[in-house]
Homo-oligomer: A and B are copies of this chain.
Amino acid sequence: MKDSAGIEGLVSELQGIVGVDRVSQSRAVREQHGHDESYHAPQLPDAVVFARSTEEVSAIVKACSARRVPIVPFGAGTGLEGHVCAVAGGVCIDLSQMNEIIRVSPDDMDATVQAGVTRKQLNEHLRDTGLFFPVDPGANATLGGMSATRASGTNAVRYGTMRENVLSLKVVLADGRIIQTSRRTRKSASGYDLTRLFVGSEGTLGVITEVTVKLHGIPQHVAAAVCPFPTIEGAVNTCIATIQCGVPLARIELLDDDQMAAVNAYSKTDYKVAPTLMLEFHGTESGVAEQVAMVQEIAAEHGGTDFQWATLPEDRERLWTARHNAYYAGLAVRPGSGGLITDQCVPISKLAECLVATKQDLEGTPIPSCIVGHVGDGNFHTVLMIDPADKEEFARAAAINEKMVLRSLALGGTASGEHGVGLGKRKYMETEHGEALSVMRAIKAALDPANIMNPGKIL
């Protein structure tokens, strides 16, 4: 915002809506809201408003809209592509205080929550229902943010991403109107799929204020295992064969040797430092036993024979917490570093080629790195630990990232498997989508003609 008189008038209006205490122009608060957990440079909003209801968000958006002031929705700030950077200043709407679990229906296996509820909060709330919410990005993100970025995680191979798990959204549009994107029935053929349009729209079409999600029954039996492999090819080929055999794995995660070393150091584990699969099986006791037998047979063919099992809940918890902290473990390898994290995703038939070429690229660079991925979906990340102050190193890392994105695209893949476009992947949208990008632009222009909703993202 260039016009500081304008922002003062708006701030008074916002204070009138939510009260003086929930509007901040302090540098500390603005700094906290101007960046996420990635390498993207902070860009501060002019003001931060803490909303507590959809109606407040609507009033805030109307006030901003009347002055054409940009709006950036903010959940937990755990994004990885600069989604919350206020590239044009404006007002950040912090939704973290909208953290009410509105309804849980065990009979329908669904729940409606305010956008600021985090995935861990929801699962703690569900503890006694026999149900759980499966989508699990590494961070304890909010469901609003996860919807906005079409997040996924380790369970997606079995339970789907936010695309498959969001049943309906409440959204405040760019002019302040409030819509419900659909009914919460399991299926519907009634009109355009607005739910899926807003899932992954990254705040550019509206502010998500409520999320209705599918829940899933906690499986009768769960087993988890860690299995090292002599080569990364062995690990990835085990994954590919397992998926192609139709084994209904709940999780199949690949970590390379560098990532395993980082995990051991960060999470005080003593796993073998080798390319490794972390697996989880859900089902009945005999169903899990069948899955395990099939995967062990496939893994053995690729040199993976040393399965280390975690069947007790606390052992599994430790295993998956270590996995969820893989990104932070990577950063800790080089204290003070920032992470440039890639998000490659290809058809699974191209995964081995893509992963092996990526590993070779990394061997040729002095920048510390590790690979971790949701290989059952054809998705993996390379974390490049860079010195945020070293511009030359950043440029080298960015060049590696670009090479990897273009390789994914050349192999029929996408620029982002799960982190979203934000600032970091915008330049690849034309290559990935071609003419379809103009359709996205037309939709954006139709729903946000003044371009105030999280401007500068995706398009």
Q: Give the interface of A toward B (CB within 8 A).
A: 105-110, 149-152, 156, 161, 163-164, 173, 177-194, 196-197, 199-201, 205, 216-217, 219, 240, 244-246, 283-284, 286-287, 290, 343, 345-349, 377-379, 409, 412-421, 425, 428-429, 432-440, 442-443, 445-447, 458
Contact = CB atoms under 8 A, between A and B. Distances in A.
A105 B351 CA distance: 14
B347 A436 contact: no
Closest 9 A-B residue pairs measured CB to CB? A196-B196, A217-B246, A446-B446, A107-B349, A188-B414, A179-B436, A150-B189, A189-B416, A442-B446
Contacts of A443: 192, 197, 443, 446-447
B109 A190 contact: no
Contact of A378 (B105, B163, B186): B186
A222 to B, nearest CB: 13
A52 B144 CA distance: 44
Nearest to A422: B189
Contact of A187 (B156, B189, B287, B445): B156
A190 to B, nearest CB: 4
Most chain B CB within 10 A, of A149, A193, A199, A283, is at A193
Contacts of A290: 284, 286-287
A191 B161 contact: no
A237 to B, nearest CB: 12
A199 B190 contact: no
A436 B419 CA distance: 27
A447 B436 CA distance: 11
B183 A412 contact: yes
B108 A190 contact: no
Given A183-B412, A287-B290, A439-B447, 19 more contacts: A105-B349, A107-B244, A107-B349, A108-B349, A150-B188, A152-B189, A177-B435, A179-B434, A182-B436, A189-B419, A189-B421, A190-B414, A190-B416, A190-B428, A192-B200, A193-B196, A196-B196, A216-B246, A443-B443
A187 B152 contact: yes
B191 A163 contact: no
A377 B187 contact: yes
A417 B188 contact: yes
Given A436-B180, A443-B192, A378 B107 contact: no
Given A107-B349, A439-B447, A442-B446, A377 B186 contact: yes
A437 B191 contact: yes
Nearest to A151: B189
A347 B184 contact: yes
Given A109-B244, A179-B435, A446-B445, A193 B189 contact: no
A189 B200 contact: yes
A188 B286 contact: no
A184 B412 CA distance: 7
Nearest to A348: B108
Given A189-B421, A191-B440, A105 B287 contact: no
A187 to B, nearest CB: 5
A181 to B, nearest CB: 6
B189 A149 contact: yes
Nearest to A106: B244
A184 to B, nearest CB: 6
A458 B189 CA distance: 10
A347 B185 contact: yes
A419 B189 CA distance: 6
A450 to B, nearest CB: 14
A311 B156 CA distance: 32
21 contacts: A150-B188, A150-B193, A151-B189, A156-B187, A163-B193, A163-B196, A179-B435, A180-B434, A181-B436, A182-B436, A183-B414, A185-B346, A186-B378, A187-B379, A189-B421, A191-B429, A191-B433, A191-B437, A192-B440, A216-B246, A445-B446
A345 to B, nearest CB: 5
Nearest to A243: B109
Contact of A179 (B185, B419, B439): B439
A440 B173 CA distance: 13
A200 B414 CA distance: 24
